[in-house]
Amino acid sequence: MKNTKPKAVIIGAGVGGLSLGPMLSKNGFDVHIYESNKTIGGRANILKKKGFTFDTGPSLLNYPWVYEDYFNSLGKNFYDYVELISVDPAVNFMWRDHSNFQLSSDMTTLSEEVAKFNSEDRYGLVDFFKNSNKKYDLAFEKLVTRNSSNIFSWLKNTGMNNLFKLGLLNNMYDEIGKYFNEKKIIEAFSSYSMYLGDSPYKLPGFFSILPFGELQYGLWMPKGGMYGLIMGLKKLNEDFNVTIHTEKRVEEIKIENDQVKGVTLSDQTHIKSDIVVSNVDSSTTFQSLINDDKKFKKYKMTPSVYTFYWGVNKKIDSMTHHTIFLPNNFKKTFNELFINKEIPEDLPFYISIPSKTDNTLAPKNNSSVFALVPCPVISTKKPGYDKEDFSQIKSRIFERLNHQKINLSENDIIFEEVWDPNKWESEFGLFDGSAFGPSHNFFQIGPFRNQNMSKKYKNLYFVGASTTPGTGVPMCVLSSKMTTEKILTHYSND
Ligand SMILES: Cc1cc2nc3c(=O)[nH]c(=O)nc-3n(C[C@H](O)[C@H](O)[C@H](O)COP(=O)(O)OP(=O)(O)OC[C@H]3O[C@@H](n4cnc5c(N)ncnc54)[C@H](O)[C@@H]3O)c2cc1C
């Protein structure tokens, strides 16, 4: 019998593509996801080596309500698919002078932690929570989850007075600085800007809701690591009869008379389709899959990363699950990375030890350790990344760990894998090796960001970190809802 359902091809099984599959299937499409790699998940991938399990990219799960709502919207219960483990104490920030700031979702604990720097800041913390709560609700209601095709409808939806309330016209550092006297607290909360692709002195103040959201809704890790979430999404796709084709690279999106007709795979198979949704970074999509790069090269991108996956032959008591090592001169470091486009001298970096929360991720009495170092995107690094960068970065990490009296040295490593910016680019099609996609300055969010529906090519859509609302695993899930809304409103097969 002929399949009368309209056919949807999704290019890429990243979080966005995997979230979109079930939504389109529920709405009557015959859905096929084509993924170039052997394993699904995109940046949220998995490495299993010598008894150690590593998440390749995301390591922090926040905003669990996003996943609960998403699964509910499909008539499913998130917790039937994914088991979450609370990570509290959450992130620990460390400075060279041996001071530290440990986050917790427990308000009494957090308040004591803030007061250890400055007792007045306890009151600031209460105000920060009150104000951020309002901003957070307003942002998700008016800004983050709404499709708006142009600046005028966006401004109308958001409301001019809300631009001030949301702190969109302020910068993130100043917005957080309104509540705290202690520079280190401001720096710790502002450091989230690293992943949004600009300095906190430039990003809109609205992003002060990021640390708040993490504290309010807690920090989590799925059982089995972040890949537990990908396994949950895989099962959901199976339950909705979505077909995932792995090791199938899409070479071209077929377009005739500005209308999408399907895709061609690298083995030259032609797949006809009524709609095509690209989960591949939008700049890469336009440059490599459509050969139309006029508009998309202009985006300012988030930094790239060096990531280290270390199997370590012992337990590490001197660090918690998540630790961020901040530099002495915060502003100088951000200027080096975002303005001078160089690897900062006093390297900031992040270390995660997921086996502390789930001991199945490493052999007994061993630890799986992940280190992430932000660095400039490929095109700005002259003459390019090489082995020397790798060994310098690695030795600077261990110099710092030694300085902080952390019981982890290079000699403890029994397994090592390193991904540099070139690997991130080639493995997942990340434009210029940018780890998190286009950055989130004012002119690259909302209606200014690459939209989830092509204005030029009929029945071509986008989902994932490079489109709206932006980067991060929960945002990619929200993105799938927004793309579905656009498809259901605009799709026609005439
Ligand atoms: C190192 C790192 C750490 C991070 N940490 C966090 C974190 O702690 N918390 C958080 O929320 N977020 C984090 N992020 C961000 C988060 O990982 C991303 O925002 C999110 O995973 C992006 O998903 P996506 O839907 O855009 O798809 P992507 O992950 O970009 O996947 C796209 C998929 O398309 C496939 N593909 C590419 N080209 C083709 C082609 N031609 N044909 C077929 N398939 C193709 C790729 O192989 C890939 O599987 C991190 C990212 C990185 C890199």
The domains of the chain are located at 7-68+224-299+450-490, 108-218, 302-428
CA separation (Å) from 451 to 60, 170, 444, 462, 467?
26, 25, 11, 7, 6
* 3-class DSSP state of 492: coil
What is the distance in A from the centroid of ligand 1 to the CA of 426?
12
Instruction: Return the pLDDT at 294.
Output: 63
Q: Which amino acid is at 268?
A: Q
Dihedral (CA of 20, 25, 28, 29) sign: positive
What is the distance in A from the centroid of ligand 1 to the CA of 338?
22
Instruction: Return the pLDDT at 493.
Output: 62
- Taking only the tens place, the pLDDT of each residue in 212-271 is 999 999 999 999 999 999 999 999 999 999 999 999 999 999 999 999 999 999 999 999
CATH class of the domain at 302-428:
alpha beta
What is the distance in A from the centroid of ligand 1 to the CA of 419?
14
Q: Whose CA is nearest to atom 22 of ligand 1?
A: 465
- Taking only the tens place, the pLDDT of each residue in 54-105 is 999 999 999 999 999 999 999 999 999 999 999 999 999 999 999 999 999 9
- What lines the ligand 1 site, CB under 6 Å? 11-17, 34-37, 42-44, 57-60, 249-250, 279-280, 305, 307, 372, 428-429, 435-436, 464-465, 471-473, 476
Beta strands 30-34 and 7-11, pairing class: parallel
What is the distance in A from the centroid of ligand 1 to the CA of 190?
23
Question: In testing the pocket of ligand 1, which one of 35, 43, 265 has its CB within 8 Å of the most ligand atoms?
Answer: 43
* 3-class DSSP state of 435: coil
Instruction: Return the pLDDT at 166.
Output: 76
Give the nearest ligand 1 atom to 248 CA: 43
Q: Whose CA is nearest to atom 52 of ligand 1?
A: 57
- Taking only the tens place, the pLDDT of each residue in 106-123 is 999 999 999 999 999 999
Q: Which amino acid is at 271?
A: I
CB count, 10 Å around CB of 435? 27
Q: Calculate mean pLDDT across residues 27-53.
A: 98
CATH superfamily of 7-68+224-299+450-490: FAD/NAD(P)-binding domain (3.50.50.60)
The answer to whether the beta carbons of residues 346 and 333 sit under 8 Å apart is: yes
Instruction: Return the pLDDT at 44.
Output: 98
Residue 58: is the preceding peptide bond cis (ω within 30°)? Answer: no
Beta strands 270-272 and 259-265, pairing class: antiparallel
Helix (H) or strand (E) holding 390: helix 387-403
What's the CA angle centered on 63, arms 436 and 142, to 5 degrees? 85
CB count, 10 Å around CB of 78? 21
Region of 484 on the Ramachandran plot (φ > 0 left; ψ -120 to 50 alpha; else beta): alpha
Q: Calculate mean pLDDT across residues 322-345.
A: 95
Please state the pTM of the whole predicted model. Answer: 0.96
DSSP-H helix ranges across 218-348: 227-239, 282-284, 330-338
Q: Please, which pLDDT band fits residue 28 given cuts at 50, 70 and 90?
A: very high
Cα 66 from Cα 16, distance rounded (Å)? 13
What is the distance in A from the centroid of ligand 1 to the CA of 78?
21
What is the distance in A from the centroid of ligand 1 to the CA of 328?
31
Give the nearest ligand 1 atom to 289 CA: 41
Cα 464 from Cα 475, distance rounded (Å)? 8
What is the distance in A from the centroid of ligand 1 to the CA of 112?
37
DSSP-H helix ranges across 141-275: 151-158, 160-165, 172-177, 183-190, 209-217, 227-239
Topology agreement, domain 7-68+224-299+450-490 and domain 302-428: no
Q: What is the DSSP letter of 407?
A: S
